[in-house]
Amino acid sequence: MFTPEQKRALLIGFGLILAVATLLVLIWLGMFLPGFAGEVFRKLAGMMWTPVVLDFSLFLLGIILILWLNMFIRAREGDEYVYLEQIEAPPDDLPEEARSAVFREAPEPQGLSPSLAAIEGALELSDLSEATSLLFELPSDQLEEPDVLALRIALAHHKGHHRKAGDLLEQLRVKSPQHPLCENSRGTSPAD
């Protein structure tokens, strides 16, 4: 019926109510003590049950309890600061739950990886115009990176610009001689 977390929350709530009720009953029972102690409890009970003081004291007790619980929960669960990632302009058929994600730790910067994956996907689908536009969106200082050069070579081959692909392959050999594309094309000359 209840989850373990709900059961624990209910037990804490009932425990707090029981503690306050026990305190009130002890004050009421203290009124029957003989002598000075009984007199103190009678004065205390008289002030507590006065309509304005009773309301104010219960209000104050509630505020103190809420603040104490909040401090306890924050100490146990940590800071409430989270990172929220949202999809900009999501498709209409995307469910509401899939449009955003919440992370407690900062996501690691992904750099060019998502852009390169999108370009690879466009090349795989032979969507050359999309691959070209995605390449133009990359920062200009990143166009000479080995992974980007490899994608530019593949795009040039798909478009039939074999001379340009050969020039880019030479750039790739200079930048990264150990790149798999350089090792695969050793001994072959670029087709014109």
Each residue's pLDDT tens digit, 135-188: 888 888 888 888 888 888 888 988 888 899 888 888 888 888 887 777 766 555
Query: Smallest Cα–Cα separation from 171: which of 148, 187, 188, 191?
Result: 148
- What is this structure's pTM? 0.42
Angle, nearest 10°, between helix axes 113-124 and 128-137? 160
Whole-number average pLDDT of the chain: 82
CATH 1.25.40 placement within the chain: 113-184
15-24: per-residue pLDDT in tens? 988 998 998 8
Where does the pLDDT of residue 76 fall: very low under 50, low under 70, confident under 90, or very high at 90 and above? Answer: confident
Per-residue confidence at 190, pLDDT binned at 50, 70, 90? very low
Fold of 113-184: 1.25.40
Q: What is the CA radius of gyration of the chain?
A: 36
pLDDT for the residue numbered 109: 62
The span from the CA of 167 to the CA of 163, in Å, is 6
At 112-130, the pLDDT tens digits run: 677 788 888 888 888 888 8
- Give per-residue burial for 35-68: e unless 16+ CB within 10 Å, then b: eeeeeebeeebeeeeeeeeeeeeeeeeeeeeeee
